[in-house]
Amino acid sequence: ETGVTQSPTHLIKTRGQQVTLRCSSQSGHNTVSWYQQALGQGPQFIFQYYREEENGRGNFPPRFSGLQFPNYSSELNVNALELDDSALYLCAIGQLYGYTFGSGTRLTVV
Amino acid sequence: GEDVEQSLFLSVREGDSSVINCTYTDSSSTYLYWYKQEPGAGLQLLTYIFSNMDMKQDQRLTVLLNKKDKHLSLRIADTQTGDSAIYFCAPLSGSSNTGKLIFGQGTTLQVKP
């Protein structure tokens, strides 16, 4: 049990739709990051939130957006879904001595 | 840009040692992590090393860092079938509050009985 919970675990969406993925941690940390892991690849950094502000972003278009709430839970929103958005989406709570990842949400876009 | 390279596949016999190698490009990485991923699962932190260290040992795991060559390795002693998984090295790029982990494609470790 990592202490980081992601929901839902699996999701199927149609191209063009919008999706919201959620992440929460038992202990609450002020840094949360999101990663996209395509099949057979390593995770790619999407963005990071620190105290409810986005403070770092990878090479992802603006249709990928996020929120962090006062209780340190977080959401990843993706608009106008494309087939290539099919991937495992991972959130991680930021700790210097080891970022802790959730089990991920498997998103399939058809 | 930042990049991480790992060999894609390693096969060993149960009881042998496994050595997984990684090279990276960001010389300013202060923390370098090793993660394990089992099929269909998230990432499990195995260990980390700080950039001013050459070696770190943690039970069956030994991490070696050659900062000059930007080379990191993970040695697993007495490898077991339960160690079969994908292993990622992940240097931290940037500061502790704004940094991001850089992942390569990972090394698939196959342990044969």
* Residues facing A31 on adjacent strands: A50
B37 in Cβ contact with B66 (< 8 Å): no
Spatial contact of A89 and A109, defined as CB atoms under 8 Å apart: no
The string of pLDDT tens digits covering residues B7-60 is 999 999 999 999 999 999 988 888 999 999 998 888 999 999 999 999 999 999
Q: Give the integer Cα–Cα distance in Å for B80 and B67.
A: 29
Number of inter-chain CB pairs under 8 A, A vs B:
61
Q: What does the pLDDT look like over A21-52, one tens digit per residue?
A: 999 987 767 789 999 999 999 999 999 998 88
User: Does position B109 have pLDDT exceeding 90, yes or no?
Assistant: yes
Nearest Cα residue to A89 out of A110, A67, A108, A62:
A108
Radius of gyration (C-alpha) of chain B in whole angstroms: 14
Which pLDDT belongs to residue A26? 79
Convert the pLDDT of each residue in B49-97 to its tens digit: 999 999 999 999 999 999 999 999 999 999 999 999 999 999 998 776 6
B45 contact residues in A (CB cutoff 8 A): 98-101
- Mind telling me how many Å the CA of A44 is from chain B's nearest CA? 7
B28 in contact with chain A, both atoms CB, cutoff 8 A: no
**A56: amino acid identity, one letter:** G
DSSP string, chain A: --SEEEE-SEEEE-TT--EEEEEEESS--SEEEEEEE-TTS--EEEEEEETTEEEEE-S--TTEEEEE-TTS-EEEEE-S--GGG-EEEEEEE--TT-PEE---EEEEE-
